[in-house]
Structure 1
């Protein structure tokens, strides 16, 4: 690594996390029907990094993402985007924060069928009456490989191409962090690899931050780090993950979960 790259990496490591939660709890229901989806989770998502969230079904991984992104309020604890504590914001300011500082990619592409690719990419800024950075948008279009599809509509694109449009839209306003919830869930393996690759390039070539929920060890291996949840709690972190190491960790969770179920019964 050259000195410039080393300095850049050092700056990233010491800056405020792009997003974090502290003692996060999320409770649904009450009494006999109470479910603690998050149970005292504290985790930071570092700027300039690609982090995957994994765990067994019902572990709280999607709940963690939704609360960290300000889509769902915590029952207790705190969630931050940069230095901004989300519960301190009224509805209007929270909406503005999500619009200006947070990007989203979901399993469903959520493109407007009557708009072109170019119009879908810039839609959030157009709705806000904001002028996008043309040079940045051009760079994004180049990264996602859609330069020859800008005037097409979603119905004229493959599923993988539609998700690439959704990824470009998520990054278009240069948000502090992009949250991706199972972004390859509706794609075949080849298209999924393409989408994961461009998420990685956005982080490493464009200095973006991505937090991705996934159940797929192969997808998680594209990340710089994996955080693992079980029963609503943070139980492990794995830097430099590989698909095999992640799969082994998930198998251990399955075995432990089976043991807990047997004890309870």
Structure 2
């Protein structure tokens, strides 16, 4: 999808983000001065070779991990200024998450899992919005089932609905199709895309899969903990070509490279 107007404001962004793990000989620089914004109302994919820092970038942008230096913002709020309590509240109320492993509570029904973020926040939520999400994920006839009674694809669709239930500023999806077969993966990616394009939501997805990245409006590419490229209107072929180029470059420089960093 090509934007014809001004760039929308960032739902989330990082500025000069540095993340270092360990010390001494075990020191790993996972992010090395990354500045990136994730526009509101858009679908952004974060990609890069193994060890590029893509998962680390998502974790610090979402407030799941702290920065060594630099800043991270969600809708203008600087996460580095928040104490643990306020950071927890922000994640609960303004950020949604979809993980590879679904992370549904097995004792709760589909309906209860979907509304869990609202229940934890002591909020009733908007019944009309919840109904819209239930219809969007196509699970109205499964509302009283528990996760063990659902397929993997159905469980991930519940997780997607849960992520959007509180109308967060941004939903972060970490390899959301990693545990799914290709058909179920396409269904989940299509659902995320529709949430952006028909519901005006914001999605930031980490993926290693060029086919998954092709569902996004823009791809942010990392290598060696640094932002190296952005790609609008991605196709699987273009993304794969860029990833291969960075993989080749990394192999060629391996004897001189520092210790690998988390992906």
- The interval holding the TM-score normalised by the smaller chain is over 0.9
Query: 1:231: how far off?
Result: 0.4
Equivalent residue in structure 1 for 2:28, among 12, 16, 35 = 35
Q: Which runs of 5+ in 2 are unaligned?
A: 259-263
From 3, 9, 19, give the equivalent of 1:16.
9
Matched, 1:70 2:37: no
Query: What RMSD, in angstroms, separates the aligned Cα atoms of the two structures?
Result: 1.5
Which runs of 5 or more structure 1 residues have no equivalent in the other structure? none
What is the distance in 2 between the residues matched to 1:110 and 1:27? 28
Deviation of the 1:263 alpha carbon = 5.4
Equivalent residues of 1:16, 1:83 under 8 A apart: no
Match of 2:159 in 1: 166
Contact 1:54 1:229 in 2 (8 A): yes
Distance between the aligned counterparts of 1:101 and 1:124, measured in 2? 10
Task: After superposition, give the CA deviation of every residue in 1:68-97 in whole Å (9 maximum; x if it has no partner).
Answer: 000100000000001100011111111110
**Contact 2:14-2:71 within 8 A present in 1 as well:** yes
- 1:206 matched to 2:182: no
Give the Cα–Cα distance (whole angstroms) in 1 for the partners of residues 14 and 105 of structure 2.
32
Q: How far is the alpha carbon of 1:244 from its aligned partner?
A: 0.5
Matched residue count: 257
Structure with the larger RCO, 1 or 2 (CA within 8 Å, 6+ apart):
2
Give 2:247's aligned residue. 254
TM-score calculated relative to the size of structure 2: 0.95
**Deviation (angstroms), 1:262:** 4.7
Higher helix share: 1
CA deviations 1:220-260 (Å, max 9, x no partner) are: 00000000000000000000000011111111011111111
The within-5 A match list for 1:43-192 is: 43-192=36-185
